Amino acid sequence: MQTATITAPELHGRLRLQKDLVVVDVRNESEVREGQIPGAIHLALSELEQRVRNALPNPQTSIVVYCAQGARSARALRLLQQLGYQQVLHLEAGFTQWRALGLPIEIPVPACSAGHALDRYARQMLLGEVGSAGQMRLSQARVLLIGVGGLGSPAALYLAGAGVGTLGLVDPDVVDISNLHRQIIHETSRIAMRKVESARDRIEATNTDVKVATFAERFCSENAERIIGCAWDVIIDGTDNFPTRYALNDVAARHGIPVCHGSIDRFEGRVTTFLGNQGPCYRCLFPRQPQPGIIGSCAERGVLGVLPGVIGTLQATEALKLILGIGQPLAGRLLTYDALSLEFRVIGYGRDPDCSVCATRVKEG
Amino acid sequence: MQVTLLFFAAARDAAGRSQDVVELPAEVTNVAQFTAWLGKQYPPLDPYLACLRIAQNEKFVDATTTLHSGDTLAIIPPVAGG
């Protein structure tokens, strides 16, 4: 059988250029603790067959597998090929050669909190899908939350709890007493404070590992590039109006950044995920932006306080899955939730061939 | 043909119900015709017709899609709140 190999310097070069290249470390847990290639996913050879489909659902994914010397990775390569993965290489002479050449490595324990990290994140690191490598990924991840209101509140708190390294908060508003029945990151003592500052204080109280970047401004087409351009891995759309949702969609799609969408109305919520360059976007789902005033906001139509708790938490779930590379994202699927009947429905949707954002991207691509 | 209608968000309020089982007139055979019929049958829905989407049996469909007897048709306007 043909053996497809890549050398350590070649891999180092490709990692800079090819953002979607996935590096899979098939060594044992104890070896990984000594250091690994930055950003690598840990799937030990013994559990590779069982876990790889969840971790990497797309068989077209470009994968480089490595072990210590190259023997186990050669076996992993053959296994992945048998499982239908078509673009797999394995690292010649393994991690030993990578390290000998002085190429960058990372120690997969969250850097900022070393000792207590193992305690703080113990319950989620116990999950094979997370482990120490996943926790490292979370600690290096950057998530931008547009809106720190009903949806952004629970999303930010859970992402902070999970140990996401950097949270960006965008919101121009100050805390109002009428927010507090649902915007659980804010407290009565914070009324009249900027929401981004109130949220930052609460996040830091929850988890001092998390760095917080604040943007006390309304997200719009004028500041979109500046805010989005700060190298975010995932965006949580928790905004409260259509112009912002469409503006965010367009700029995130251009940058290829996934958006976890949530929206709420009275007793009903929606969740879906737009994967940047792959799959449909918000304009594919709702091509025609409603005329101003046609569809009312929470302020006009009311909202059950717990509703954004459900929806924002699902958005955070999607963000964590994307960062960890596990499960199936809600791409091309709109999840609807009706609190009154307590029914969830999933409705499929595809890319709009006439989409003003996607269609252009396909041509450019 | 008989179809089941599910109304979401603002469409639910406009139609005054969350579900309905209706007999469509013979000339209503595709999604565009169905949307026009909806506006006549439930006049308060009219302002939403331009922006809402129709899902047929849990899949969003476009204006030219043919309808079938027994379909479940969901009427889904976008929602802005956050």
Specify the pairing of strand A333-338 against strand A268-274. Answer: antiparallel
Q: Does B81 touch chain A (CB under 8 A)?
A: yes
Q: Rounded CA gap, A196 and B67, in Å?
A: 48
Quick check: A256 and A276 in contact, CB under 8 A? yes
In order of their start, the domains of chain A are 5-108 (3.40.250.10), 141-364 (3.40.50.720)
Is residue A16 very low, low, confident or very high in pLDDT (cuts 50, 70, 90)? confident
pLDDT level of residue A3 (50, 70, 90 thresholds): low
B-chain residues within 8 Å CB-CB of A346? 58
Choosing among A240, A286, A334, which should be mutated to test the B contact, i.e. which has the most B CBs within 10 A?
A286
Compute the distance between CA of residue B11 and CA of residue B75 in angstroms, rounded to an integer.
Answer: 7
Give the 3-state secondary structure of A125-187.
HCCCCCHHHHHHHHHHCEEEEECCCCCHHHHHHHHHHHCCCEEEEECCCECCHHHCCCCCCCC
Task: Give residue A34's pLDDT.
Answer: 82
Give chain A's contact residues with B (Cβ, < 8 Å): 147, 149-152, 237-242, 245, 262-266, 268-270, 285-286, 288-291, 294-298, 301, 303, 308, 334, 336, 338, 340-341, 345-350
Beta bridge partners of A272: A261
Percent of chain A past pLDDT 70, that is, above it, reads 95
Report the residue from A238, A241, A268 with minimal CB separation from B9. A268
In 3-state terms, chain A is what percent helix, strand and coil (to 5)?
A: 40, 20, 40
- pLDDT, one tens digit per residue, over A257-315 is 999 999 999 999 999 999 987 889 999 999 999 998 888 877 888 999 999 999 999 99
Mean pLDDT of chain A: 92
Average pLDDT over residues A85-95: 95
Residue B49 contacts A where some CB pair is shorter than 8 Å: no
pLDDT higher than 80, residue A334: yes
**Which tops the pLDDT comparison, A157 or A292?**
A157
Q: CB within 8 A of A65, min separation 6: which ones? A: A23, A24, A25, A26, A73, A76, A77, A80, A88, A89, A90, A91
3-class DSSP state of A322: helix
As for the ipTM of the complex, it is 0.96
What are the sequence ranges of the domains in chain B? Answer: 2-76
The strand pair at B60-61 and B53-56 is best described as antiparallel
Beta-carbon contacts of A171 under 8 Å, excluding residues fewer than 6 positions away, are A146, A147, A148, A149, A152, A194, A195, A196, A199, A215, A216
Interval A136-156: pLDDT, tens? 999 999 999 999 999 999 999
Give the separation between CA A209 and CA A112, rounded to whole angstroms: 6
Helices A152-162 and A195-206: crossing angle in degrees, nearest 10, is 30
> Which two structure tokens, joined as six digits, stand for A199?
């949220």
Tell which residue, B42, B10, B57, B37, has the closest CA to residue A267: B10
What local confidence, expressed as pLDDT, does residue A272 receive?
A: 98
pLDDT at A362 over 60: no
CA angle centred on A249, ends A247 and A253, rounded to 5°: 125
Q: What is the pTM of this model?
A: 0.76
Facing A286 at nearest CB: one of B12, B47, B78: B78
Query: Which of B10, B18, B80 lies nearest to residue A242, judging by beta carbons?
Result: B80
The answer to whether residues B59 and A277 touch, using CB atoms and an 8 Å cutoff, is no
Q: Is the dihedral of CA A216, A257, A26, A10 positive or negative?
A: negative
> Measured between alpha carbons, how far is A253 from B22 in angstroms, rounded to an integer?
40
pLDDT band at A23 (very low <50, low <70, confident <90, very high): very high
Q: What is the mean pLDDT of residues A317-346?
A: 97
Cβ contact, residue pair B82, A268, below 8 Å = no
**pLDDT, average across residues B32-56:** 96
Q: What is the pLDDT of residue A1?
A: 46
Q: Looking at residues A33-54, what average pLDDT do you find?
A: 87
Closest CA to A131 of A203, A190, A43: A43
Query: What would the CATH number be for the domain defined by B2-76?
Result: 3.10.20.30
Q: What is the pLDDT of residue A231?
A: 87
Q: What is the pLDDT of residue A108?
A: 67
